[in-house]
Amino acid sequence: MRLRFVIGKVLGALSTLVFVVVVNFFLFRVVNDDPVESMFRGRNLSAEQKDRLRQQFNLDGSKLQQFWAYIRELLQGNLGISLQSRRPVTTEIGEALWPTIALVGTATTLSMVIGVAIGIRAGWRRRSAFDVGSTTFSMFTYSVPDFWLAMLALGLFSVQLGIFPTGGLQDAGTTATGLPLLLDQLHHMALPCLVLAIAYVGEYAIVMRSSMLDTVREDYLQLARAKGLRDVEVRRRHAVPNAVLPVVSLSALNFGFVLSGSIAVESIFSWPGLGQATLEAIRGPDFPMLQGLFLLFSAAVILANLAVDLLYGYLDPRVGGR
């Protein structure tokens, strides 16, 4: 992979990030010209109190002055103060970050492994009973909204059968520590994780099956069989490595979206992650929190795209310019 290719991709990602930062600042101020007035609507605040709040949240001065103040604070790692909790946005996001990574990251990994396995077998055994059944299942899970699946699972497994908790990260008021606390949290995470894994698995299975169907038509597979390789070895050593490239891209992009989580699923299961934090910030409205979340989600997707481009350049010499 040529250095020129890497530098070009990195500069492209940085320019996109700069554009996102500018849009991130002006977007919320166009939508909401005076966040303090919106946040404290209906409260009997004096003009002096409102001015102090605007000064506290860097909302005083012209838009250009606010923008330079925002850039200065951003370069120092400061995303502002939440209008609701009066705590730093970085602290609020940090507390919600790991629950989302644990939940959505685990679900994405499970769906990727299971979906790729289904897609490989379905594509290799085209028009078999497994291919028809797995493709039907994949199309169904791919088209079903995750919030509908979450409500269905919550009503059946939590309310009716009582197998899983109805929500939260752990039992309310628990004093458990160590392994008992971890097991309690895993118990709470199991059902929303299962819902997200089922919602994502169809996408991986469909993409992998399609890629396998394109690969099995290639002449080099017939050549490999002519050399005496068994069908299992042809699939493992030649078909799968060449068919997996589109799934690599999909996996990297989906991991970029992990940070955004699933607002609907997290809210249904009261999971204290970034999705739930986004919903609460929208209800506020808490524009510093929304700004921080939007920037985090955008940066994650940009970095994931950069990782995909560099990985493709490494795996395919034609892309990397070698």
Per-residue b/e over 86-101, b at no fewer than 16 CB within 10 Å?
eebbbebbeebbebbb
- Judge whether 102 and 110 are in contact, CB under 8 Å: no
Structure tokens at 233: 């070895």
SS (H, E, C) 287-320: HHHHHHHHHHHHHHHHHHHHHHHHHHHHHCHHHH
Asked whether residue 279 falls in the same domain as residue 290, the answer is no
Question: Does residue 93 belong to any structural domain of this protein?
Answer: no
Question: Of 253, 299, 249, 260, nearest to 103 (Cα)?
Answer: 260
- Cite the beta strand spans of 128-225 per DSSP E: none
Q: Is 284 left (phi over 0), alpha (psi -120 to 50) or beta?
A: alpha
240 and 104 part of one domain:
yes
pLDDT at position 174 is 73
Query: Cis bond leading into 285, ω under 30°?
Result: yes
SS3 197: helix
Shared domain check, 164 and 62: no
DSSP per-residue letters across 218-249? SHHHHHHHHTT--HHHHIIIIIHHHHSHHHHH
With contact defined as beta carbons under 8 Å apart, do 319 and 15 qualify? no
CATH of the domain at 248: 1.10.3720.10
Domain hosting 24: range is 1-84+286-322
Asked if 162 and 299 sit in the same domain, the reply is no
Residues 85 and 77: their CA atoms lie apart, in Å, by 19
In this predicted structure, the answer to whether residue 39 has a pLDDT above a threshold of 70 is no
Both 62 and 211 in one domain: the answer is no
Question: Is 190 in the same domain as 312?
Answer: no
The region of weakest confidence among 75-89, 257-271, 276-290 is 257-271
Task: Output the pTM of the full model.
Answer: 0.78
Within a domain: 92: no
pLDDT in tens, 140-196: 988 888 888 889 999 989 888 888 888 888 777 777 778 888 888 898 899 999 999
Whether 114 and 142 share a structural domain: yes
Q: Does residue 104 sit within a domain?
A: yes
Q: How many domains does the chain have?
A: 2
Establish if 73 belongs to a structural domain.
yes
Tokens of 103: 């939940």
Token representation of residue 239? 């078909």
* 91 part of a folded domain: no
Higher pLDDT among residues 173 and 307, named by residue: 307
Side chain identity at 40, as an amino acid letter? F
Per-residue pLDDT, 178: 81
* Cβ atoms within 10 Å of 128's Cβ, excluding its own: 12
* Residue in the block written with tokens 């059944």: 133
Residue 120: what residue type? I
In a domain, 89, yes or no: no
The 10s digit of each residue's pLDDT in 68-103 is: 888 888 888 888 888 788 888 899 999 888 898 888
For residues 223 and 322, state if they share a domain: no
162 by DSSP, 3-state: which? coil
Rounded mean pLDDT, 51-72: 74
Say if residue 191 is in the same domain as residue 236.
yes
In a domain, 112, yes or no: yes
Per-residue HEC secondary structure of 53-81 comes to HHHHCCCCCCHHHHHHHHHHHHHCCCCCE
Mean pLDDT for the chain overall: 81
DSSP tag of 176: -
Question: Do 201 and 295 fall within a single domain?
Answer: no
Is the residue at 90 inside a domain? no
Are 75 and 102 part of one and the same domain? Answer: no
- The answer to whether residues 236 and 269 belong to one domain is yes
